[in-house]
Structure 1
Amino acid sequence: MVYASPGTDASTDPDIDKNIRMFEQGHLPNPIASDSSDKSKGKLGQKTLRRLAQNREAARKSRLRKKAYVQQLENSRLKLNQLEQELQHARQQGIIISTSDDQCRSTSENGALIFNMEYTRWLGEQNKLINELRAAVHSHAGDDDLQSIVNTIMVHNEEFFRLKGVAAKADALHVLSGTWRTPLERCFLWLGGFRPSELLKLLANQLEPLTEQQLASLCNRQQSSQEAEEALSQRMEIIQHSLAETIASQLGRAGAGSSGNAADHTAAALRKIGTMESLLQQADDLRLQSLQQMQRVLTTRQSARALLLVSDYFSRLRALSSLWISRPHSKCVDIDTVVTDP
């Protein structure tokens, strides 16, 4: 008699399949057919039927487990091949760039590529932490558990600003342009990120209930952040205006044939672009200080809800941007027919 435990893969045993077919046709296997007692045959037949049914169910489950495991291996293999191709492509780009004569371009483009990949990884981890925080808030977790998750998210945000600082040293213009974000997010960028005053305004309006002291502290911080933003924006405008004048002066002297003056003006223009890196770092410091001030003013549960509000805000921007990109383009709209004020 053949018996397979539920954890045994019996799907490949031909004797079990043969016994099952013989039993269904009214014939017992040879060891059972040799029994001389009809009564014992009946009891043994019932046991055999039961065991064969168990073996059949075990074999079915084993086949399902095998199929799922093979499918999982195949998916993992495809993902691994895709990652290897992306890594190989990135290495090829680095080799092509590094073999050129412009070593600065190699550092800049490789730094931008690494930052884009690091931001994608960081955003995935951020979403996991936000989902964990949301589940803890909805399940009414204790303050200690919430505080632990909030602290982890704050440290994760600090890691993001560190990554931006490293990327800005390699290519400040890439970080300022915001090409690593979605198109709609880029419409709201200020010096490579969000405006701290807008973030504090969002919390003051949406986060309830707040005490008068908390509301006054957030409003004061919002006002001071707005003043700092205006100062940095003015400095950026001065740099851009000076850079435009430097480039224009090079055009005027182009026919003079003075290579020395041209080189000096080019060096001056590059220094002005380098100054943008300092402004970007100051803007990120202001953003980080606003997040830290928010945590100091609010309670643990309010800080958790505030982080969820901020995350939902940027998630909606990314979702709207995806919808805009994937919108149908089958019909062209004439702007003259749309803008009709009766």
Structure 2
Amino acid sequence: MTHCTSASTRGTPTSFDIFFEGWLVRQEHYLDELLSAQQHLGESREEYLEDLISRVLSHYQQYYEEKSRMSQINIFLVFSPPWFTSLERAFLWVAGFKPALVFKLVSVFVTDLSEDQKQRMSRLIEGTKVEERALDDKLAKIQESVAAPALLEKARERGRRLGTEETMREEEEAAFNTLRSSMESVVRSADLLRTETILNVVAILIPAQRVKLLAAAMQLHIKVRTRGLQIDAEKHE
């Protein structure tokens, strides 16, 4: 399997770059294990499948924990992460994948759902759509404030009225901090929705179905990343 190297173009790798490189390597190992388990579902013990699923979910949780730390350092970076390829960035929704993608993967790769599972999945889909729309609205309001840019302009006006450069800087910094706080909040909410969605879907599926879903999700990510690396390399030729 081809190693998916970092897309970051910065000269000096950050701690996140180093983490992400290692995370991608571990992801490929997990995919190999998932594909092997998928080929031998009838032979694999349920305890082994549960352990593998738990390790894979922990692998993704590590990414979100590290991303959260990065967000606290520079929230603006996670909206256009340099560690992703341009193709990966094109698919971003609130600094990550859209939760609805999980349901599309289930519909394509997990075709043996029982009627009870289908009903539970349908209810989960509807609830997730509501949460996604709420976050879309919240992000739209943030983007409007950036496009205006109303916050900084109001800060400058207030500073000019008070008549000191220091006050203007303080007001601009306060407006900037408000914007940053809003963006941090929406990313936290989006990451929480992503995490809850996959956990809720996994709870509906049986172990063999979970293996199929997680393998499909990893394969999709690696295919998009590999193609993205090729496109970016062609641009720089």
| Same fold flag (TM > 0.5) | yes
Q: What TM bracket, shorter-length normalisation?
A: 0.7 to 0.9
- Is residue 20 of structure 2 the alignment partner of residue 119 of structure 1? yes
**Aligned counterpart in structure 1 of residue 82 of structure 2, from 179, 182, 189:** 179
**Counterpart for residue 5 of structure 2:** none
Give the 3 Å change call, closer, same or farther, for CA 233–328 of structure 1 in structure 2: closer
* Secondary structure of the corresponding residue to residue 181 of structure 1: coil
Counterpart mapping for 1:70-85 below 5 A: none
- Is residue 133 of structure 2 the alignment partner of residue 226 of structure 1? no
What CA deviation, in whole Å up to 9, does each residue of 1:191-242 have, x standing for no partner? 1110001222221233111112212222222222222122112112212323
Cα distance in 2 between the residues matched to 1:329 and 1:130:
30
Contact 1:197 1:223 in 2 (8 A): no
Q: CA shift at 1:269, angstroms?
A: 2.4
**Counterpart for residue 210 of structure 1:** 113
**Aligned counterpart in structure 2 of residue 246 of structure 1, from 139, 151, 155:** 151
Cα distance in 1 between the residues matched to 2:46 and 2:19:
31
What CA deviation, in whole Å up to 9, does each residue of 1:34-71 have, x standing for no partner? xxxxxxxxxxxxxxxxxxxxxxxxxxxxxxxxxxxxxx
Give the 3 Å change call, closer, same or farther, for CA 142–323 of structure 1 in structure 2: same
Amino acid at match of 1:164: K
**Counterpart for residue 334 of structure 1:** none
| Structure 1 unmatched ranges of 5 or more | 1-88, 91-111, 331-342
Cα distance in 2 between the residues matched to 1:268 and 1:234:
20
**Counterpart for residue 199 of structure 2:** 292
Amino acid at match of 1:248: E
Give the 3 Å change call, closer, same or farther, for CA 165–326 of structure 1 in structure 2: closer
Cα distance in 1 between the residues matched to 2:153 and 2:175:
13
Q: CA shift at 1:254, angstroms?
A: 8.3
**Aligned counterpart in structure 1 of residue 184 of structure 2, from 253, 258, 277:** 277
| Structure 2 unmatched ranges of 5 or more | 1-10
Cα distance in 1 between the residues matched to 2:32 and 2:105:
21
State which drifts further: 193-202 or 249-258.
249-258
**Counterpart for residue 131 of structure 1:** 32
Q: CA shift at 1:251, angstroms?
A: 6.2
Give the 3 Å change call, closer, same or farther, for CA 121–329 of structure 1 in structure 2: closer
Amino acid at match of 2:151: T
**Counterpart for residue 12 of structure 1:** none
Q: CA shift at 1:117, angstroms?
A: 1.6
**Aligned counterpart in structure 1 of residue 55 of structure 2, from 152, 163, 183:** 152
Amino acid at match of 1:297: I
Contact 2:53 2:210 in 1 (8 A): yes
TM-score, scaled to structure 1: 0.59
Cα distance in 1 between the residues matched to 2:229 and 2:16:
21
Q: CA shift at 1:284, angstroms?
A: 0.7
Counterpart mapping for 1:17-166 below 5 A: 90=12, 113-140=14-41, 141-166=44-69
What CA deviation, in whole Å up to 9, does each residue of 1:277-311 have, x standing for no partner? 12111111111111111111000000000001111
Amino acid at match of 1:138: Q
Cα distance in 2 between the residues matched to 1:249 and 1:278:
22
**Counterpart for residue 35 of structure 1:** none
Contact 1:150 1:304 in 2 (8 A): yes
Give the total of aligned pairs: 221
Give the 3 Å change call, closer, same or farther, for CA 135–206 of structure 1 in structure 2: closer
Contact 2:87 2:224 in 1 (8 A): yes
Contact 1:197 1:226 in 2 (8 A): yes
What CA deviation, in whole Å up to 9, does each residue of 1:116-169 have, x standing for no partner? 221121121121112112112213322222121111111111111111111111
TM-score, scaled to structure 2: 0.83
What CA deviation, in whole Å up to 9, does each residue of 1:254-292 have, x standing for no partner? 877542245213312222222211211111111111111
| Percent pairwise identity | 23
**Aligned counterpart in structure 2 of residue 199 of structure 1, from 87, 97, 102:** 102
* Secondary structure of the corresponding residue to residue 172 of structure 1: coil
Cα distance in 2 between the residues matched to 1:246 and 1:210:
50
Give the 3 Å change call, closer, same or farther, for CA 145–326 of structure 1 in structure 2: same
